[in-house]
């Protein structure tokens, strides 16, 4: 049997491995309410996810009347405090995600997570859904310090190093994911079911999946 072409497969978290939109939207709307802003539908907030909580909140404020640095700073802390208390109420893996991880592990592939979510939140969410102990490494948006979250290639390179080296691919749902992977010379797979900021075809990934059932065959073809 031909060897699987990748030693490591990395995943984004929000909108890729996990549907966290319900809990993130609740946190955004809680923060907006403190400024007497109207709540936003989950579908409106989904495209705002991916660049970290501050970026998401800034877009929510712009969508409801604008912002300034002082207001953003105050509400950012309120958002984080609310999210910390309500991390995994509605959060769950996307359909087929767990089976895809099983299949990769059966092939001897190490799986990892690289997210722009704060590391502490990411670890807790992954622990809540039973995935943390399955990962070769987990890198959050603040793990490597300022300026080293996606789209920087630094976390992808760190993922490869911390997972023992070898050939890697990265799976995500945003331009941050694809740009980081490409800057690290790693092929990217984009998820059509993710929290897309733009049409998935515009992300420039080497492949697109509509469901996690497609992931292993797609990676075999990319190899």
**Cα–Cα distance measured from residue 149 to residue 74, given in angstroms and rounded to the nearest whole number:** 23
Tell me whether residue 12 is one of the annotated catalytic residues.
Answer: yes
Among 61, 170, 59, 183, which residue's Cα sits nearest to residue 115? 170
Alpha helices by DSSP H, the chain: 21-33, 42-45, 53-63, 69-85, 97-106, 119-128, 154-162, 175-183, 215-222
> Taking the C-alpha atoms of 5, 11, 17 and 20 in order, what is their torsion angle to the nearest 10 degrees?
-170
Give the Å distances, CA to CA, from 108 to 4, 5, 26, 95, 130: 8, 11, 38, 22, 20
Judge whether 147 and 173 are in contact, CB under 8 Å: no
Please tell me which residue in 7, 12, 173, 177 is annotated as part of the active site: 12
From the number of C-beta atoms within 10 Å of its C-beta (0-12, 13-18, 19+), residue 44 rates as: middle
**Cα–Cα distance measured from residue 167 to residue 60, given in angstroms and rounded to the nearest whole number:** 38
**Cα–Cα distance measured from residue 87 to residue 207, given in angstroms and rounded to the nearest whole number:** 31
The residues near 103 (Cβ < 8 Å, ≥ 6 apart) are: 215, 216
Q: Catalytic positions, please? A: 12
């Amino acid at each position: 049997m031909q060897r699987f072409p990748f030693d490591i497969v990395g995943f984004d978290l929000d909108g890729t491995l996990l549907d966290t939109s319900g809990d993130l939207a609740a946190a955004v709307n809680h923060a907006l309410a403190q400024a007497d802003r109207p709540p936003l539908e989950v579908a409106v907030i989904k495209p705002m996810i991916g660049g970290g909580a501050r970026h998401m909140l800034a877009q929510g404020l712009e969508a409801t009347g604008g912002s300034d640095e002082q207001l953003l700073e105050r509400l950012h802390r309120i958002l984080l405090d609310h999210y910390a208390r309500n991390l995994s109420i509605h959060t769950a893996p996307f359909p087929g995600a767990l089976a895809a991880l099983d299949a990769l592990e059966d092939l001897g592939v190490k799986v990892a997570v690289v997210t722009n979510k704060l590391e502490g939140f990411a670890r807790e969410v992954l622990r809540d859904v039973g995935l943390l102990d399955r990962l070769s490494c987990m890198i959050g948006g603040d793990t490597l310090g300022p300026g080293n979250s996606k789209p920087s290639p630094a976390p992808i390179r760190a993922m490869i190093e911390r997972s023992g080296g070898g050939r890697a691919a990265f799976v995500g749902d945003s331009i941050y994911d694809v740009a980081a992977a490409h800057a690290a010379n790693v092929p990217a797979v984009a998820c059509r079911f993710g929290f897309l900021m733009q049409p998935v075809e515009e992300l420039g990934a080497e492949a697109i999946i509509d469901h996690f059932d497609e992931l292993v065959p797609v990676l075999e073809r990319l190899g």
